[in-house]
Amino acid sequence: MNLEVSNRNVFGKSLSSYRKKDKIPGIVYGKHLSESVSIFFDRLPFIKIYEEKGYSMPINLVGDGINELVLIYDIQVDPVKNSVLHVDFHAVKADEKTEAEVSIVLVGEAPVEKQGLGKIELVKDSVLVEGLPNDLPQNISVDLSKMESIGDGIFVKDLLIDNKISIKDSFDLPIVAVVEIEDEKDEEELDESEEEIQN
């Protein structure tokens, strides 16, 4: 998927007027580039691509003499307006392996939660993988349907991935765990007791 970009020679406070016109500033860097490249691109096409590709799937930056395969490395967001302020892109080569953080997505329903015996806790929401850029997945699904009792867990070693990529994180790290819900009940009972005392 292509994102149209243009070269940028505007920096600092001068960028605010461009952002008002839905132009987002960014920078492209990579070990095969002689120097970083400052760019502008339109907000709406970028948002559409980000929602489809995420951080771990490559996109093509094209236009104004630029033609680079990149991964989104970092997005700076205005905490008040929740708008994109700046994007860092990592330039990669299609025939060279690279590393990327891939998000964990929980799917299915856990019997232990359905029966009210415990709750699912997401311990690790992404894993570091390595592979050719075009083989990197947007996310990795974790099936909760076998989580039946307290103490059950899913670890990095349990993740199902394509053999074209490899996981760089320790295989013993937990991804999902089933935890007791007694503590929540105790807190609710404590709150109720405090209300009774105050009344």
Least trusted range by pLDDT, from 55-69, 84-98, 179-193: 179-193
In this structure, the answer to whether residues 128 and 79 fall within a common structural domain is: no
Distance CA 124, CA 26 (A): 29
The reported pLDDT for the residue numbered 181 is 81
**Structural domain includes residue 194:** no
Is 198 part of any domain? no
Domain span at residue 69 reads: 2-92
Q: Rounded to 5 degrees, what angle do the CA atoms 141, 146, 152 make? A: 100
Predicted pLDDT of residue 191: 59
Per-residue burial over 126-146, b = 16 or more CB atoms within 10 Å of its CB, e = otherwise? bbebebbbebbbeebebebee
The residue among 62, 92, 122 that closes a domain is: 92
63 and 109 both lie in a single domain: no
Is 60 exceeded by the pLDDT of residue 47? yes
> Which CATH number do you get for residue 168?
2.170.120.20
Tell me the pLDDT tens digit for each residue of 30-39.
999 999 999 9
Q: How many CB atoms lie within 10 A of CB 70?
A: 22
pLDDT, tens only, 173-186: 999 999 988 654 45
Instruction: Tell whether 117 and 158 lie within a shared domain.
Output: yes
Q: What is the CATH number of the domain that holds 62?
A: 2.40.240.10
The mean per-residue pLDDT over the stretch 95-116 comes to 95
Conformation bin of residue 137: beta by default, left when phi > 0, alpha when psi is -120 to 50 = beta
Number of domain units in the chain:
2
* Ordered alpha helix ranges (H), the chain: 15-19, 43-53, 111-114, 182-198
SS3 129: strand
